[in-house]
Amino acid sequence: MILGEVFSPKTMCVELESEEKEEVLAELVEIFVRANPDIDRSQVLATVVDRENKMSTGFLKNVAVPHGRSACVEGIHGVIGIARNGIDFDSLDGEPTYLFFLLISSLDESELHLRVLKRLTELLEKGTFYADLLQQSSPDGMYKVLCRYEDELVAF
């Protein structure tokens, strides 16, 4: 299991409050920092915003995977957030974004960072994963869905 170790219920939000792209990035980083209080919030946010300014990470239908690598982080960590009303995230398809996966990793975790991105893409290609995740009303429910789909993927 990879994703079950990168994400946790503490870093999942079933109802993001933000309504704009920059606010969503800040809210996702804030969720991450609350679960990891020793992390420099401003440095992580700057890393994520810088990466997002290069090219939108809203590349899958209604999904964005903002990510960044920072010297102030060890390993790789993730946040999942749901925006029930959708956010204009400058997605490549022009559609609103409802589901966000924030990834933050250390500078030396390139391979694992790419493996996590690949695994997320594999899960999102299954339409039922996206729908099941959006139906959840608690972080624990989101985490169970994530782990169940990852286990099914690895079993094949």
pTM value is 0.94
Identify the band that residue 34 occupies on the pLDDT scale cut at 50, 70 and 90.
very high
pLDDT of residue 29: 98
pLDDT of residue 110: 82
Q: How far apart are CA 121 and CA 65, in angstroms?
A: 10
Provide the domain count of the chain.
Answer: 1
Taking only the tens place, the pLDDT of each residue in 94-115 is 899 999 999 999 999 888 889 9
3-class SS string, the chain: CCHHHHCCHHHEECCCCCCCHHHHHHHHHHHHHHHCCCCCHHHHHHHHHHHHHHCCCCCECCEECCEEECCCCCCEEEEEEEEEEEECCCCCCCCCEEEEEEEEECCCCHHHHHHHHHHHHHHHCCHHHHHHHHCCCCHHHHHHHHHHHHHHHHHC
- Domain span at residue 54? 3-155
Average pLDDT, the chain: 93
- How confident is the model over 62-74, as pLDDT tens digits? 999 999 999 889 9
**How confident is the model over 36-61, as pLDDT tens digits?**
999 999 999 999 999 999 988 897 78
**pLDDT exceeds 80 at position 156:** no
Distance of CA 32 to the CA centre of its chain: 10
Rounded CA separation 5/76 (Å): 9
pLDDT of residue 85: 94
Q: What is the CATH number of the domain that holds 97?
A: 3.40.930.10
- The whole-number pLDDT of residue 1 equals 64
Query: What pLDDT score does 126 carry?
Result: 81
